[in-house]
Structure 1
Amino acid sequence: MRDFFRNNVIARWGAAFLGPHFLTSVGALPRYLSDWGVYQRAAPQALSFRDSYPCLADRVLATPFDPHYFFQAAWLARRLCRTAPSLHVDIGSSVMMLNVLSAGIKTVFMDYRPLQVQLSNLIPLGGDIVRLPFRTGSIKSLSCLHVLEHVGLGRYGDPIDPAGSQRAAAELQRVLATGGRLFLSVPVGRERVCFNAHRVFEPSTVRGLFQGLELTSFSLVDDAGRFHEEISPEAVDLLDYGCGCFELVKTRE
Structure 2
Amino acid sequence: MTQPVKISVLTSLYNCEHFLSDYLKALSTIEGKEQIEVLLLHNAPTDNEIAILQQYLSELDFVRHIIIPERESLYRTWNRGIAMSEGKYITVWNVDDVRFPNSIHLQAEALDNNPQAALAYGDIWESGQYGICGTKRTNSPLYNYKKEFFKSYHVSCFQMWRKSIHPIIGYYDEQFKCSADFDFQIRSALHFPFVKVEEMLGIYLGTDENKLSNNGLQNLENNVIYSRYGVYEKVNFFTIRKSLMQYKKNQMLFFNEWNPLTENQPFHFLYKLFSIFSGLFKSIIKQIKHSIKQIIMKSIFKKLYKLSFAYGFDPKKLVGTLKAKRNRGFLSDLAEFKRQKGNDNSFPLGQINPILSEKTEEGGTMKGFYFHQDLYAAQRIYKANPKKHLDIGSRTDGFIAHVASFRQIELIDIRLITSQVKNIAFRQADLMNLPEDLIDYCDSISSLHALEHFGLGHYGDPIDYLGHLKGIENITKILVTGGTFYFSVPMGKQRVEFNEQRVFSLEYLIDILSPNYTIQAFAYVDDKGNLVEDPELTPESIKSNFGCWYGCGIFTLIKK
Aligned residue for 2:431, secondary structure, equals coil
Aligned residue for 2:400, secondary structure, equals helix
Q: How does 1:1-253 map to 2 (within 5 A)?
A: 14-17=311-314, 22-25=315-318, 28=321, 31-43=329-341, 44=344, 45-49=347-351, 52=353, 54=355, 56=357, 59-96=360-397, 97-133=399-435, 134-210=437-513, 211-234=515-538, 235=541, 236-251=545-560
Alignment TM-score, normalising by the size of structure 2: 0.39
Q: CA deviation at 1:95?
A: 0.6
Relative CO higher for 1 or 2, CA cutoff 8 Å, sep ≥ 6? 1
Q: CA deviation at 1:58?
A: 6.9
Residue ranges of structure 2 left out of the alignment (5+ in a row): 1-307, 323-327
Conserved 8 A contact 2:522-2:534: yes
Q: CA deviation at 1:66?
A: 4.5
Conserved 8 A contact 2:491-2:550: yes
Q: CA deviation at 1:167?
A: 1.5
Residue identity matched to 1:129: L
What is the alpha-carbon distance in structure 1 between the residues aligned to residue 519 and residue 311 of structure 2?
48
User: Per-residue displacement from partner, 1:56-75 (whole Å, max 9, x unpaired)?
Assistant: 46741352245111111121
- When residues 40 and 230 of structure 1 are mapped into structure 2, their CA distance, relative to the original with a 3 A threshold, is same
Conserved 8 A contact 1:109-1:124: yes
Residue ranges of structure 1 left out of the alignment (5+ in a row): 1-10
Q: CA deviation at 1:214?
A: 1.5
What is the alpha-carbon distance in structure 2 between the residues aligned to residue 141 and residue 39 of structure 1?
56
- When residues 124 and 55 of structure 1 are mapped into structure 2, their CA distance, relative to the original with a 3 A threshold, is farther
Aligned residue for 2:329, secondary structure, equals helix
Aligned to 1:7: none
Alignment TM-score, normalising by the size of structure 1: 0.82
Aligned residue for 2:558, secondary structure, equals strand
- When residues 57 and 180 of structure 1 are mapped into structure 2, their CA distance, relative to the original with a 3 A threshold, is same
Conserved 8 A contact 1:13-1:53: no
Question: Looking at CA atoms only, which structure, 1 or 2, has the larger radius of gyration?
Answer: 2
Conserved 8 A contact 1:90-1:108: yes
Q: CA deviation at 1:40?
A: 3.9
Conserved 8 A contact 1:25-1:57: no
**74-83 or 177-186: bigger deviation:** 74-83
User: Per-residue displacement from partner, 1:19-78 (whole Å, max 9, x unpaired)?
Assistant: xxx3223554893444344334434434333x7374746741352245111111121122
What is the alpha-carbon distance in structure 2 between the residues aligned to residue 53 and residue 111 of structure 1?
40
Residue identity matched to 1:243: C
What is the alpha-carbon distance in structure 2 between the residues aligned to residue 205 and residue 179 of structure 1?
23
Q: How many residues align?
A: 237
Aligned residue for 2:462, secondary structure, equals coil
Residue identity matched to 2:333: D
User: Per-residue displacement from partner, 1:133-181 (whole Å, max 9, x unpaired)?
Assistant: 4422222100000001111222222222221211111111111111111
Residue identity matched to 1:225: G
Conserved 8 A contact 2:522-2:556: yes
What is the alpha-carbon distance in structure 2 between the residues aligned to residue 112 and residue 233 of structure 1?
34
What is the alpha-carbon distance in structure 2 between the residues aligned to residue 101 and residue 55 of structure 1?
36
